[in-house]
Amino acid sequence: MEPGARYGALVADISSQPVLFVTPANYLQVAGAAFEDGFDQLIDLTAVDYLSYPGQRPRPADVVCERFELVVQLINHASRERLGLRVQVPTAEPRVPSLFDLWPGAENLEREVFDMFGIEFVDHPDMSRILMPEDWVGHPLRKDYGVGDIAVQFSLASAPT
């Protein structure tokens, strides 16, 4: 996969769509350039934990894989172009800037990623859990999260008479 460049980031064609590979340090700058270039809607924002599959993802050879990958999908409605952003997020410091100021619709998507993966979005207006209770310990979509550790409690049903 031979990469090019766009907005100062490596770009590769993956599944017939341009995908920019950005670092946490230049993520906000690249996203801002895309916004200024007409990418007016954030379609999706999620993350992937590659703990069990290190290095097994399409990427330019220059991109160093981290455990977490933030995946962002943008669209330019005027040109009908889609653009992907992928950010390698290190385990030691799972933090990236928030896109809320560019696309306010990122608010709940970033909260879901925080809640499920533990990736914090700096300058987010409400970086709190959205799916799990506030006192929940851990992040359920991490590959090292204990599956089946929660005992299922059934209420006592009355016996048929």
- Structural domain contains residue 149: no
Name the residue with tokens 């299922």. Answer: 152
- Structural domain contains residue 51: yes
- pLDDT at position 45 is 98
Q: What angle do CA 116, 14, 12 make, to 5 degrees?
A: 105
- Structural domain contains residue 61: yes
Per-residue tokens: 152: 């299922």
- pLDDT at position 150 is 58
- Domain carrying residue 48: 4-122
- Structural domain contains residue 132: no
- Structural domain contains residue 154: no
Q: Are strands 81-89 and 17-22 parallel, antiparallel or unpaired?
A: parallel
Phi-psi region of 123 (alpha: psi -120 to 50; beta: other; left: phi over 0): left
- pLDDT at position 161 is 59
Number of Cβ within 10 Å of residue 158's Cβ equals 5
58 Cβ contact partners less than 8 Å away, ≥ 6 residues apart: 1, 12, 14
CATH at 49: 3.30.460.80
Average pLDDT of the chain, as a whole number: 91
User: Which regions of the chain are under pLDDT 50?
Assistant: 1
Per-residue tokens: 154: 């059934």
Name which of 42, 46, 47 is nearest 103 in CA terms: 42
Residue type, 54: P
- Structural domain contains residue 131: no
- Structural domain contains residue 83: yes
- pLDDT at position 158 is 61
- pLDDT at position 1 is 45
* Domains: count for the chain: 1
- Structural domain contains residue 50: yes
